Structure 1
Amino acid sequence: MRVVDAFREAYGAEPAGVWHAPGRVNLIGEHTDYNDGFVLPFAVPWGVTAAVSPREDGVIRIRSLQAPGKDQVLDDPDRAEGWARYPVGVVWVMRERGLPVGGADIVMDGDVPAGAGLSSSAALEVCAALALNDLYDLGLERMELARIGQKAENDFVGMPCGIMDQAASALSQEGHALFLDCRSLGSRSIPFDLAAHGLQLLIINTGVHHELADGQYARRRRDCENAAKHLGLASLRDVTDLTAALARLSGDERARTQHVVTENHRVEAVIGLLRAGAVQEIGALLNASHLSLRDQYEVSCDELDVAVESAIKGGARGARMTGGGFGGSAIALVADDRVDRVRATVAGAYEERGWAAPEFLPAVPAPGARRLA
């Protein structure tokens, strides 16, 4: 295992253990997690692997095989820079909570495709949280590790994300999607065996990231919070009469509310279809989700729209953008015998516009975070 070899080279000793946490793709339920809503993600085969040993002096030594020559030695977590702020933020949160977490020697290796929007940040956080939980015998449950990862990203990194990404990384099961109620944090695994139905879920990685994304993400969250406040509700999850709610709102707040409420309904509808074995029928809900994200939530972009539209033109049963938006990936539900056609149609549409070719990846539900050695 190359992360172990790198640990030996860096620190001249064997690591105390090796842990892995995956990235995620979201089947449906976008921008609903921070509105106390419903989501249906699953873990992907790519993620972050870490070799870790504890230290008695409180110092954190950390390196990434994706950032050679940029090792960081930290006597204070606040001094962490760049990618290291995600795992080091976990140390900061644990210490803030009074947990007995000392130092650590850490080497990390990741294989999440670049620019795909498959949440390598959550994988970094959950991997660090799981390793420290084991090494320092903290006894924390998986959901609590996810919450620590989320708090690290919210309060240490400064990204106001919801709980979905970290929960998917920490709790997912192989061959299943994870239904998560983001208010109660109750979850259950939903069987998601596309191969049995002659289907594939294809990730279309646009490879683009528009720089307005982070600021616009925070703005969308404020729109939702303001809409809930104007409606006198704790969150948009509590809207029971959408028509009446929309009549009391205007502009961006009205549009955001329409997306969140209908997206929650789509998550429930997809779960119903999966439980009934009607997997092929979820395509229409994926299409509706994309249109809502494009027109009501306004987080799509040309590259995502072309990926979705050309995938459907090529024969996909449904498609939508996935993740925060403004770039990253789309997903397409495709019959086995149409995969080549869909790939060719999407690639051709990109070539016509002079864009770099997209990357196509099979989305197979993978296991969640775990100790490897």
Structure 2
Amino acid sequence: MIDETYAAIFAAAPTASAMAHGRVNLIGEHIDYNGGMVLPTTIGNATHVAVGPSDDSSHAIYSAQYGEAVRRGIDTAFDGHWSDYIAGALAKGAENGLIKNPMRVAVDSSVPGGAGLSSSASVTVAVLKALAEHAGQHVADVDIARWSQQVEHEYIGVPCGIMDQMAVAIASEKQALALETDTLAHTLITLPDDHHFAVLHSGIIRKLDEGRYAERRQECEDAAAALGADSLCQLNEAQVAAIECLPEVQRKRARHAHSEHRRVLAAIGALCAGDMAAFGAQMDASHISMRDDFEITTPEIDAIVEAARQHGAMGARMTGGGFGGCIVACVPVDILEKWKAAMAQDFPATRYIA
């Protein structure tokens, strides 16, 4: 379909195309930049990209979501335009020898923006994979993920961790990616057939580039420095004991990162053992930590998470960068439709994503 869209817009056939899913993080929030273990999985929603050479001196970028095509250079200002992520991926592709001349790019995505489902990582990974195919080069998925993260850092100004990019570059549906973010060692774990990780949009849109994400990361770095540690998730016993001596904000951030890493390890053990009740308990504890220690939830999302449990979920938590976006709930398949109906009745502004 994306090839046909490209041809209709640019009156030429693309030379390459690629796709990357969105992702939902099952557990392990804000610890991919703190040296922790995370457990994301992909969702069915995806970004499709087609590319080909341009006959002009600038890049041409078309978005089916915005219904427009723009021309731009990759050395121009990145100021919040919808094409910034695509232009950043083009710049990173040029830097790594995937393109030498201006390109045409067509993008079509069903990953909702501002939902905590990695719409940005999905588009940058898809563009980079399409550029690699265009160049006839094999680029390892880990390198694609690293380049995609660099787009966020260097062009968008979001100091994100590596989880989102690794998840959408490597994992597939019905698999969770157990990722050690300090080493990038990873294992794919098959998800159970009798439980579904339901993703529900709260109706609250948030943007990672508005400053609060960077603020939380800086607070974590300050806490790690105060403890004399390289990362908050890899503290020794003396450093763990010293957490309670930190100033309040640093204490809370360190407590969340340290405990969240251990919750992920426990959740992975529960998942491998098929103990979804234990897995759900770790999800519940994760949300409480995000609410009380990391302070990134909202009262509306807290209420949605609580209702998700009351209607039969084994566990539920906010997912994503915070301050809006989605929740994820572990729901037995045999009550999924009943659960969805109950949640829709209680919270009409929510939207079932996956």
TM-score of Structure 1 vs Structure 2, range by shorter chain: over 0.9
Counterpart position of 1:229: 225
Q: Secondary structure at the match of 2:260?
A: helix
- State how far apart, in whole Å, the 2-side matches of 1:20 and 1:201 are: 22
Is the 8 Å Cα contact of residues 213 and 326 (structure 1) preserved in structure 2?
no
Q: Secondary structure at the match of 1:143?
A: helix
Q: Deviations over 1:244-294 (max 9, x none)?
A: 131331211100111111111111111111112223421100000000000
- State how far apart, in whole Å, the 2-side matches of 1:211 and 1:45 are: 22
* Residue of structure 1 aligned with 2:322, choices 322, 325, 336: 325
Is the 8 Å Cα contact of residues 239 and 245 (structure 1) preserved in structure 2?
no
Counterpart position of 2:353: 361
Is residue 2:255 matched to residue 1:258?
Answer: yes
Is the 8 Å Cα contact of residues 312 and 319 (structure 1) preserved in structure 2?
yes
The structure with higher relative contact order (CA 8 Å, sep 6+) is: 1
User: Judging changes above 3 Å, is the alpha-carbon distance between structure 1 residues 279 and 212 closer, same or farther for their aligned structure 2 residues?
Assistant: closer
Q: Which runs of 4+ in 1 moved over 6 A?
A: none
Structure 1 window deviating more from structure 2 (333-342 vs 95-104): it is 95-104
1:235 Cα deviation from its structure 2 partner: 1.5
Once the two structures are superposed, the pairs formed by residues 300-339 of structure 1 within 5 Å of their partners are 300-339=297-336
- State how far apart, in whole Å, the 1-side matches of 2:20 and 2:335 are: 32
Once the two structures are superposed, the pairs formed by residues 170-189 of structure 1 within 5 Å of their partners are 170-189=169-188
State the identity %.
37
Is residue 2:71 matched to residue 1:73?
Answer: yes
Is residue 2:241 matched to residue 1:244?
Answer: yes
Structure 1 window deviating more from structure 2 (316-325 vs 58-67): it is 58-67
TM-score by length of 1: 0.88
Amino acid at match of 2:351: E
Structure 1 window deviating more from structure 2 (148-157 vs 272-281): it is 272-281
Counterpart position of 2:150: 151
Counterpart position of 1:128: 127
Is the 8 Å Cα contact of residues 306 and 349 (structure 1) preserved in structure 2?
no
Amino acid at match of 1:49: H
Amino acid at match of 1:277: G
* Residue of structure 1 aligned with 2:265, choices 251, 255, 268: 268
Q: Deviations over 1:143-163 (max 9, x none)?
A: 111111111011101111111
Once the two structures are superposed, the pairs formed by residues 144-223 of structure 1 within 5 Å of their partners are 144-193=143-192, 195=193, 198-210=194-206, 214-223=210-219
1:119 Cα deviation from its structure 2 partner: 1.2
1:220 Cα deviation from its structure 2 partner: 0.5
Counterpart position of 1:353: none
Compute the RMSD of aligned alpha carbons.
2.1
Is the 8 Å Cα contact of residues 114 and 207 (structure 1) preserved in structure 2?
no
- State how far apart, in whole Å, the 2-side matches of 1:13 and 1:150 are: 31
Q: Deviations over 1:15-74 (max 9, x none)?
A: 1122111110001110000112111101111111011113487631111011113x2212
1:204 Cα deviation from its structure 2 partner: 1.3
Q: Deviations over 1:57-110 (max 9, x none)?
A: 7631111011113x2212444256612111210222243456654321111101
Amino acid at match of 1:312: R
Is the 8 Å Cα contact of residues 231 and 248 (structure 1) preserved in structure 2?
no
* Residue of structure 1 aligned with 2:344, choices 340, 343, 347: 347
Amino acid at match of 2:307: S
Runs of 5+ consecutive residues of structure 2 not aligned to the other structure: none
Q: Secondary structure at the match of 1:35?
A: coil
Counterpart position of 2:287: 290
Is the 8 Å Cα contact of residues 21 and 170 (structure 1) preserved in structure 2?
yes
- State how far apart, in whole Å, the 2-side matches of 1:330 and 1:250 are: 30
Q: Matched residue pairs, number?
A: 352
- State how far apart, in whole Å, the 1-side matches of 2:344 and 2:172 are: 32
Structure 1 window deviating more from structure 2 (282-291 vs 266-275): it is 266-275
Q: Secondary structure at the match of 2:160?
A: coil
Q: Deviations over 1:135-177 (max 9, x none)?
A: 1234321111111111101110111111111111101033210
Amino acid at match of 2:155: F
1:361 Cα deviation from its structure 2 partner: 3.3
TM-score by length of 2: 0.93
Counterpart position of 2:15: 16
User: Judging changes above 3 Å, is the alpha-carbon distance between structure 1 residues 42 and 5 closer, same or farther for their aligned structure 2 residues?
Assistant: same
Is the 8 Å Cα contact of residues 313 and 345 (structure 1) preserved in structure 2?
no
- State how far apart, in whole Å, the 1-side matches of 2:66 and 2:29 are: 31
1:341 Cα deviation from its structure 2 partner: 4.0
1:333 Cα deviation from its structure 2 partner: 1.1
Q: Secondary structure at the match of 1:83?
A: coil
Amino acid at match of 1:357: A
Amino acid at match of 1:166: Q
Q: Secondary structure at the match of 2:165?
A: helix
1:192 Cα deviation from its structure 2 partner: 0.9
Counterpart position of 1:82: 81
